């Protein structure tokens, strides 16, 4: 077991003292980097990149070569689980992910089996092991999965959706069918994340990208319930250290107290929630991750610094803050602006610690 040279990300998630606020970016390995685009071109397509552990490792490490980030995140996709269930994931240029088969009828749901990650997604686990080895203890490695509700929307709609018409139709007309689907997915996500932890992931994040599309009551019943089920089933200690769990519901700022009660170690915030107000609400129960608007990276570096300063001031002094964007970095961002963002977090956060 290689000793971590920089563990401030893990310590911040556990609300332990750090020297500066740690920072990483969702989608930090991605299309805004020319080196990523070059590797993707060599791979042929996105799935060629995800499905090849060596290439997935290469692009995971690329942003760490450029920036003093405090964590690496596995390069993969949230839709690997539905793909492993036989739905046939593919990507249309400019249209995002699509599935060859949808899951809508009772027979469709009954046919789904809980995945066995070692058999069904070995390329992901091989990538985790390889990345962890290549990191050599430089920074921790984050594993991740989509949430059951978010995965279900793609499986039912057959791809991205603006209104989730088919998913909400199932939710309201045949809730028992939706619960069966979500339970199968929750069991699969639990197994998948535990397999990533055993392979070397030192923290895990669950992306509930579309939880914010639900009503208050529906979120509790069809998303949060299954997030709590997953958290309860996860390995929480590995290699002699706590494995923190981060929950991120985009558009979920109104449910922070309920999310904190799942037993997660940290909550991700999008940019619509003030981080100081969020801290007042959850107290010391969980760490908070976030939450600059990704669009600010289109602004000039001085404006980015101002926003970083404002968010740090809102959170205030003390541990328990991991700086991140409120969602993934977008492809058109100038890599120099991303670098200015990361530098600003480290430089401007010093007075808030110690």
Q: Is 27 annotated as a binding residue?
A: yes
Has 77 been annotated as catalytic?
yes
* Residue whose C-alpha is closest to residue 186's, from 216, 151, 221: 151
Q: What is the pLDDT of residue 354?
A: 83
Of 27, 104, 132, 305, the catalytic one is 27
28 annotated to a ligand binding site: yes
Candidates 205, 254, 214, 259; CA nearest to 27 is 205
| 220-247 per-position pLDDT tens digit | 999 999 999 999 999 999 999 999 999 9
pLDDT at 47 > cutoff 90: no
Does 36 show up as a binding residue in the annotation?
no
Residue 306, annotated as binding a ligand: no
Is 153 labelled as part of a ligand binding site? no
- pLDDT above 90: percentage of residues in the chain: 95
Catalytic residue, chosen from 31, 241, 281, 343, is 31
Evaluate the omega torsion of the peptide bond into residue 42 and state whether it is cis, within 30 degrees of 0: no
| Catalytic-residue membership of 40 | yes
Q: How confident is the model at residue 340 (pLDDT cuts 50, 70, 90)?
A: very high
Residue 208 annotated among the catalytic residues of the structure = no
Structural domains in the chain? 8-352 (3.20.20.210)
- Cβ atoms of 87 and 158 closer than 8 Å: no
CB 291, CB 326: distance < 8 Å: yes
Distance (Å, whole) CA 329 – CA 253: 20
Q: What is the mean pLDDT of residues 259-266?
A: 98
Looking at residues 292-304, what average pLDDT do you find?
98
Compute the average pLDDT of residues 248-274: 98
pLDDT tier for residue 1 given thresholds of 50, 70 and 90: low
Residue 249's alpha-carbon distances to 92, 132, 227, in angstroms, are 26, 27, 10
Distances (CA, A) of 114 to 9, 26, 108, 292: 32, 27, 14, 36
Model confidence at 122: pLDDT above 80 = yes
- Taking only the tens place, the pLDDT of each residue in 194-216 is 999 999 999 999 999 999 999 99
Q: Is the pLDDT of residue 2 over 80?
A: no
> Does 316 appear as a known binding residue?
no
Following DSSP, what letter does each residue of 90-154 receive, concatenated?
EEETTTEEEESS---SHHHHHH-----HHHH-HHHHHHHHHHHHHHTTSS-EEEEEE-HHHHHHH
Contact 258, 282 (CB under 8 A): no
Question: Annotated catalytic, 123?
Answer: no
Determine the Cα–Cα distance for residues 103 and 16; give it in Å rounded to an integer.
44
Output the pTM of the full model.
0.97
Q: 327 a known binding residue?
A: yes
Residue 130 has pLDDT above 80, yes or no: yes
Q: Counting runs of H as helices and runs of E as strands, what totals does the chain give?
A: 17, 11
At residue 118, the pLDDT reads 98
In terms of Cβ atoms closer than 10 Å to its own Cβ (0-12, 13-18, 19+), residue 294 is buried
Question: Is 29 annotated as belonging to a binding site?
Answer: yes
Q: Is 236 among the residues known to form the active site? A: no
216 is in an annotated binding site: no
Residue scoring higher pLDDT (56 or 45):
56
Residue 105 tokens read as 């009828």
DSSP summary character for residue 324 = -
> What token pair was written down for 143?
């594993």
| Catalytic-labelled residue, pool 15, 40, 104, 279 | 40
Token pair 């970095």 is found at 329
Give 204's strand partners: 143, 245
pLDDT in tens, 74-108: 999 999 999 999 999 988 777 789 999 999 999 99
* Nearby residues of 352 by Cβ (< 8 Å), 6 or more positions away: 21, 312, 315, 316, 317, 318
Average pLDDT, the chain: 96
Cα–Cα distance for residue pair 62/41, rounded to 1 Å: 15
* Per-state percent for the chain, helix, strand, coil, to nearest 5: 50, 10, 35
Which residue bears the tokens 């993969």? 76
Furthest C-alpha separation in the chain = 59
Q: Give the contacts of 195 (CB within 8 A, at least 6 positions apart).
A: 117, 118, 121, 125
């Amino acid at each position: 077991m290689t000793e971590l040279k920089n563990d401030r990300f893990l310590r911040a998630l556990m609300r332990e003292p750090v020297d500066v606020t740690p920072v990483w970016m969702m989608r930090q390995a991605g299309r805004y980097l020319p080196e990523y685009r070059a590797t993707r071109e060599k791979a042929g397509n996105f799935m060629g990149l995800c499905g090849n552990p060596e290439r997935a490792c290469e692009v995971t490490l690329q942003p760490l070569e450029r920036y003093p980030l405090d964590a690496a995140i596995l390069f993969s996709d949230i839709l690997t689980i539905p793909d492993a269930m036989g739905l046939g994931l593919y990507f249309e240029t400019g249209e995002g992910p699509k599935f060859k088969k949808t899951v809508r009828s009772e027979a469709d749901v009954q046919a789904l089996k809980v995945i066995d990650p070692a058999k069904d997604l070995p390329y992901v686990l091989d990538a985790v092991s390889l990345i962890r080895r290549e990191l050599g203890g430089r920074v921790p490695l984050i594993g991740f999965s989509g949430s059951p509700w978010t995965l279900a929307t793609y499986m039912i709609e057959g791809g991205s959706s603006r209104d989730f018409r088919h998913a909400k139709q199932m939710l309201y007309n045949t809730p028992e069918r939706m619960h069966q689907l979500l339970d199968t997915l929750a069991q699969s996500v639990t197994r998948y994340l535990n397999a990533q932890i055993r392979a070397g992931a030192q923290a895990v994040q669950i992306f509930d990208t579309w939880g914010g599309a639900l009503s208050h009551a529906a979120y509790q019943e069809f998303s949060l319930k299954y997030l709590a089920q997953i958290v309860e089933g996860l390995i929480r200690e590995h290699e002699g250290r706590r494995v923190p769990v981060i929950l991120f519901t985009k558009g979920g700022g109104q449910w922070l107290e309920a999310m904190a009660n799942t037993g997660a170690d940290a909550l991700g915030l999008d940019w619509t929630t003030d981080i100081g107000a969020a801290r007042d609400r959850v107290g010391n129960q969980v760490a908070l991750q976030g939450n600059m608007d990704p669009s600010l990276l289109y602004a000039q570096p001085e404006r980015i610094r101002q926003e970083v300063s404002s968010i740090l001031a809102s959170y205030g002094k003390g541990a328990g803050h991991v700086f991140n964007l409120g969602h993934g970095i977008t492809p058109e961002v100038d890599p120099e602006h991303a670098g200015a963002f990361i530098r600003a977090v480290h430089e401007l956060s010093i007075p808030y610690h110690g």
